[in-house]
Amino acid sequence: MQTQVSGYISQETKTTFEAFAKKSGQKKGFILEQALLHYINARQELPEDIVIPPTLTIDQQTFDELIDKEKAPSEALKKLMHEN
């Protein structure tokens, strides 16, 4: 038995979803059901701090600290960038 569900998604998500369905040759209903089951199973089985959301929201202060262009690179980053 199948049932229809309805929900709103962004235009960007819709475009990405439709392109993926076309490229993969899978039906959109199949992709949606698999994605929904995957999400539900992950949320039920994994600890909360393991599931990474698709988007991250930070406050302005955190953004400014992360994007500080005058911040010198750490020694670990310098070493990493100079490795072959």
Token pair in block for residue 10: 């962004």
Q: What is the pTM of this model?
A: 0.60
Assess contact for 82 and 73: CB atoms under 8 A.
Answer: no
Domain definitions of the chain by residue range: 11-82
Q: With the C-alpha atoms ordered 38, 41, 44, 50, is the resulting torsion angle positive or negative?
A: negative
pLDDT tens digits for range 15-67: 999 999 999 999 999 999 999 999 999 999 999 888 888 888 889 988 888 87
Q: What is the DSSP letter of 13?
A: H
Q: Where do we find the tokens 């960038």?
A: 81
For residue 63, what are the contacts with CB-CB under 8 A and spacing of at least 6?
none
